[in-house]
Structures are given as C-alpha cells and as structure tokens.
Homo-oligomer: A and B are copies of this chain.
Amino acid sequence: MKFLLATVAATVIATVAFAADPVPADLRATALDIFKPLPSTYPAVNDNPITKEKIDLGKALFFDPRLSASGVFSCNSCHNLATGGDDNLETSIGHGWQKGPRNSPTALNAVFNEAQFWDGRAEDLKAQAKGPIQAGVEMANTPAQVVATLKSMPKYVDWFKAAFPSDADPVTFDNMAKAIEAFEATLITPAPFDAYLNGDDGAMTAEQKEGLALFMDKGCASCHSGINIGGNGYYPFGLIEKPGSEVLPENDKGRFAVTATADDSYVFRAAPLRNVTLTAPYFHSGKVWNLRQAVAIMGTSQLGEDLSETEVDRIVAFLGSLEGRMPEVVYPVLPAETGDTPLPSGDVK
C-alpha cells in the first residue's frame, strides 16, 4: 500500500513538472537541425578502408602495453573501455609517473570528432594514435622500437599481413596507427538520445526533453552540436567570462600552441558530450569532478548565464540521455614475445 501511494505521488509530481514546462511540439525537428543520431554502421574514415582484419589487429594493438617503452601502458590505460573510454584522472599518469598536461578524452565515438586532442592538432584518429605512443610523459616509445617490437612476434606479422594484404612491408608505424583507427571506429555507443532523434518518443524522460530544449534555447548547442554533441569546432574557454585559474590554468593556451594565432589563446575544441556522465573529471584541465558544477561553469563562462538549480538539473538529465550502450569487446589474447623483442625499460630519459 505504501508502495502504491509512493508511485501515485511520483506520477503526480512528474505530471506537474511536465505541465509547468511543456515540451515544445517541434522539439525533435529543432534538435534534428542541430544534432545527428549515430549511424547504424561503422563510419568510413579517410584513406583507411575498415576491414575485419584491421579491426581485430587494431584491438590487439589498443590493448597491448608493449607499445610503451616501459611495457606498462597501452592505449586502453588512459582510454579505458571499462570506464567510459577515459581514465577518470585529472590528467593521466604516464611513463616515470609523470602527469600529462591535459585530461584524457574518451575514445568512444571519437571517430566522429572533427579533429583529435583538446586542441585539434591531429586531423584524425590515425594521426592521434601516434602521439601518446611517442610522448615522453605518456608511453615514451619510438616508432623504430614499436616496429621492432611488432616485427619480433610472428603472429603480429601475420596479422599485419592480413590487415594490409597489398603492402610489401606491412608492419609499419603508419599501419599500426591505421589499425588502431579502424578498431576505434567501432567504438560507438547508441544512446536514448539517438533513439529519440530516430523517432522514439518514449526513449527520453520528460525532464530529459526539457533539458534538451534548454540546451538548445540557452545556447549550449551553439558549440556542442552535431553527431557528437561537440567535438566539431573550436571556441575560447571563457567566451563571456574567464573562469578562475583553478579551472583554466594560465600556462595552457590551448589551440594557440597549434596555430600561433593570438585569437586562439585559450581556445579549445568543444568537448564531445556523449557519455559525459561517465567521464569525470571535466574540462581540458580535469579540475572539475561534478557534472552539475561543470554545467554551471559553462553557463557563466560561455553564455553569461547564471543557470538556476532546476535548469542545471534538467540539462544534466539531458546529458544522461547521451549515455550509450557500450560496445562488447572480447579481451584480446596477444602474441608472446620472442628473443628478438626489445626489452621493456621504465628508465626516464
């Protein structure tokens, strides 16, 4: 009896909330002008036909810690598919226990970003994949040593041959990156928001729809749009009001480092927001752990709006509808080293 009453009360409250802010009749149509649902198939990527052999090889490489000099870190260490495609750290810990400069972005749906990294310095995932492997504070390896490592294991050589059948010398650093890109192109997470865009009214709650309406009305969608609800444009962090240096550290000028243009000071790629409920902490600095707080900061810094508690709640509810179904990944079995495999070294140069 107590249960039944509770249910009735909840229904009344939900109805009242819904009545107070009716969802606009053209909500889906408006949303479809700004956003796009995920496709039902893997996207094509530039200059890299995706095949099953390439995906399988890429998965092995993605999980292989021997791509790092120390043998400790794989791509998955900082882009962990078990935890939303990132590492839940302010900034990643890498080779020699060094801290990286920026928060690790999720690998999920990353194939739909216009460019990769917070400053967009890699044009696609195959260019991105080469960065952390060579970064001294991350995997601290060299292309030559990676290739020597891969060539030392006959199974890897076979897998590269199968993935790149027309290459005379298939085991290369470029092909490694292409295979990783092919695997990452499969990391797609269809969410309730996609189902809603595709026509299912019941896929999102009334509060999530109100949040979506707000997200567009307030202007969040000016930067966070497209298939990834972000990830497709560059904007100054602090467009209206610069946040404090505890959120926006002064020494990281963002895209300025890429373009050397004064206008690009503190400019970053708008974060793609799929699965944002899983990828705390937030911003390139990773300084904000709470999603409500992150939304409020965006309101003041980018829109000049002090969002109310209710508005923040609704926007966060909408963001919840971007949490998708994770791809099922069978953990790979990697080839064993041979006597020719370079030995791992944790030494810091």
- The chain A residues found within 8 Å of chain B, CB to CB, are 63-66, 70-72, 77, 80-84, 87-89, 93, 96-97, 99, 277-278, 280, 289-290, 326, 328-334, 336-337, 339, 343-344, 346
> In the complex, are the beta carbons of A89 and B64 less than 8 A apart?
no
Asked if A87 meets B65 with Cβ closer than 8 Å, knowing A333-B326, A339-B290, the reply is: yes
Between A63, A84, A331, A343, the greatest number of chain B beta carbons within 10 A of the residue's beta carbon is seen for: A331
Asked if A82 meets B277 with Cβ closer than 8 Å, knowing A77-B72, A88-B66, A93-B70, the reply is: no
Alpha-carbon separation in the docked complex, A81 to B278 (Å): 25
What 7 new A-B contacts, CB under 8 Å, besides A72-B89, A84-B336? A72-B77, A82-B331, A82-B333, A83-B336, A277-B336, A278-B336, A329-B330
Q: Determine the residue in chain B with the shortest Cβ distance to A87.
A: B71
CB neighbours of A84 from chain B (8 A): 336
CB neighbours of A88 from chain B (8 A): 66, 71, 337, 344
> In the complex, are the beta carbons of A83 and B344 less than 8 A apart?
no
> In the complex, are the beta carbons of A64 and B82 less than 8 A apart?
yes
CB neighbours of A339 from chain B (8 A): 289-290
Q: List 19 A-B contacts (CB under 8 A).
A: A66-B88, A70-B89, A71-B87, A71-B88, A71-B89, A72-B77, A72-B89, A72-B93, A81-B331, A82-B333, A83-B334, A84-B336, A89-B344, A96-B97, A97-B97, A289-B343, A290-B339, A330-B331, A331-B331
Alpha-carbon separation in the docked complex, A344 to B104 (Å): 15
Alpha-carbon separation in the docked complex, A47 to B330 (Å): 31
CB neighbours of A70 from chain B (8 A): 89, 93
Alpha-carbon separation in the docked complex, A235 to B84 (Å): 46
Asked if A334 meets B82 with Cβ closer than 8 Å, knowing A72-B77, A93-B70, A93-B346, the reply is: yes
3 residue pairs, one from A and one from B, having the closest CB atoms: A97-B97, A329-B331, A278-B336
